[in-house]
Structure 1
């Protein structure tokens, strides 16, 4: 055995003993200081409004805006991201208690993010309002490109029985609700809160585009051809992008069979997010806000497949204007709640006639 190796073993043993002693001291010191550290721990963020978008096209600022970017630029440009295990994206919060995140597209994706966020101890959601925000499709008989609608009901499109049309009576519905899903398939949002949202935003001047104006003229329905406005109605959540007059009529049939208002927006997330919130904090403070960027069917002169796969230059346009409209309308409600927090913190105040 060489002297060098022996000295190395001695040095190694000494290092181990030193490390052990240091570790013991550190442990004792940590135990001594534990109460102080606990007292000094950061308090959870008291969330007043949480804004959930479903996707962003690129970055949160500085490029083409998706559903989140304009919210981010309005409320969180200087905010530090808060990472949440289980959520798709970080959460951002400002000093006023307005927080937001990109949740992911689809019912499972978005609801998984929401559950991770609302259960995370970094946040206090006990008095929070929620704005579920994104783009949507709309039936041409009830909406147009650029519209912004507040959801009165959230209905799940997928929970039921379906069969091929040729396997039923000609012209009859091909959907039947499945028993056992009564508490999962539809949610009526707080009528007082929805009425507040409409009262505060219904006269908002919305952006429009020349391309959207030209595109609307392909449709004969008066609602499809008008300028965009703020409205209210049922939002239908489905993981399937349903298109065509047949499935649009089916969606309307479903919401009516559930006792909901007219179907005005097709989206992919809101009903699932509402279920998560129903089990954690209730649904009285949920708002669903959608901007229409497409019709859920083609015009009478095109097939459904042609509508789904348009030729270059044949799209509706108006996407940038619509996401701007969503943020413009939604921020009126957000800012009102935050500004008048002493009035809103205990729930939506009664409406005065």
Structure 2
């Protein structure tokens, strides 16, 4: 009995200590989390990555430790109550960073909005470099069966088949890997529509470099238009693929997993990890999955212009800073994304308990 009493007293004491500690360290209020995937050097004052423009212009002046993340630091704007994070590139870095953030006791994120603002490739059949694209859907381009190109049956369009599927066009689409699936995620349509409507007329940077880049894509009407804000689905794959044949696969893969409803627009690495992590945390009641947005801005085309090979294009753009639209795409991510972030943060009384809805 004495032993049991001692255990109870220890447990009670621990609870009191924990309660006091919590009271001494109140949680930081967070209205919006801005999610970026990489920074090249410092967070400000040098060659920018995805994070730097947000740090300098929003601004995000207050530094916070970010344990469990590749970058190690987060940034915070106490007036707007906006938190900015750098997750690291790839779906694994993204998933681990988002999980660490949501489980961090410094934050209560149950009513928080998440805006992933990153660069990516764009299908020249869909749009042009420098453009900004809100994603209604994320399709998993990394989980598949694959047959080597030298062994693909002649009747197949490519070597990819769904896991649990034996042909590229198995019907119905297999239910992977749980009752929720993890091959295609649909973001809240009303929220995506609202974000697009709020930003569709934002003027995006157009440069001599962008004009020269799109001029090469003769025969691709959408690739030759000036940068603009659009709606289109993103295909998420850790493998950085390039070329006309892979682009054809991407178009088919998006159509397959969305049952013909999706439109392939942009390429990205991290978005499936972003959605997987937040979907899991939403099931635990820690976040609201209907408060999630993804904005991809086009730093490069995902296939070469007429007269060039895939290897030619890869040689031109082997480094991210050499992408034809690298700096304009970073600018577009902030110019478009910050409109939404500021609207949510500055009118929190309106959006705290009821998410905005578009037409």
TM-score calculated relative to the size of structure 2 = 0.84
8 Å CA contact retained: 2:87, 2:98: yes
Output aligned runs, 1:310-325, within 5 Å.
310=316, 317-325=324-332
Aligned to 2:168: none
Aligned to 1:344: 351
In the alignment, the residues of structure 2 paired with residue 131 and residue 340 of structure 1 have an alpha-carbon distance, to the nearest angstrom, of 16
Aligned to 1:59: 42
Aligned to 2:24: 41
More moved, 249-258 vs 274-283: 274-283
How far 1:170 sits from its partner (Å)? 4.4
How far 1:316 sits from its partner (Å)? 5.3
Is the counterpart of residue 172 in structure 1 residue 139 in structure 2? no
8 Å CA contact retained: 1:143, 1:223: yes
8 Å CA contact retained: 1:129, 1:285: yes
8 Å CA contact retained: 1:219, 1:299: yes
Specify whether residues 292 and 71 from structure 1 end up closer, same or farther in structure 2 by C-alpha distance, changes over 3 A only: same
- Tell me which of 200, 212, 215 is aligned to 1:214: 212
How far 1:172 sits from its partner (Å)? 2.3
Aligned to 1:307: 313
- Tell me which of 198, 201, 204 is aligned to 2:199: 201
Is the counterpart of residue 97 in structure 1 residue 56 in structure 2? no
8 Å CA contact retained: 1:251, 1:263: yes
Deviations 1:219-261 (A, max 9, x none): 1201111100000111111010111111111111111111142
In the alignment, the residues of structure 2 paired with residue 171 and residue 208 of structure 1 have an alpha-carbon distance, to the nearest angstrom, of 40
Aligned to 1:268: 269
Q: Which runs of 5+ in 1 are unaligned?
A: 1-29
Is the counterpart of residue 284 in structure 1 residue 269 in structure 2? no
Specify whether residues 38 and 215 from structure 1 end up closer, same or farther in structure 2 by C-alpha distance, changes over 3 A only: closer
The secondary structure found in structure 2 opposite 1:288 is strand
How far 1:350 sits from its partner (Å)? 3.7
Is the counterpart of residue 328 in structure 1 residue 335 in structure 2? yes
- Tell me which of 123, 142, 150 is aligned to 2:107: 123
Aligned to 2:242: 243
The secondary structure found in structure 1 opposite 2:289 is coil
Aligned to 1:107: 91
How far 1:283 sits from its partner (Å)? 2.1
In the alignment, the residues of structure 2 paired with residue 349 and residue 235 of structure 1 have an alpha-carbon distance, to the nearest angstrom, of 22
The secondary structure found in structure 2 opposite 1:219 is coil
How far 1:99 sits from its partner (Å)? 0.2
Specify whether residues 262 and 34 from structure 1 end up closer, same or farther in structure 2 by C-alpha distance, changes over 3 A only: closer
How far 1:34 sits from its partner (Å)? 5.0
Aligned to 2:303: 297
Runs of 4+ in 1 over 6 A off after TM superposition: none
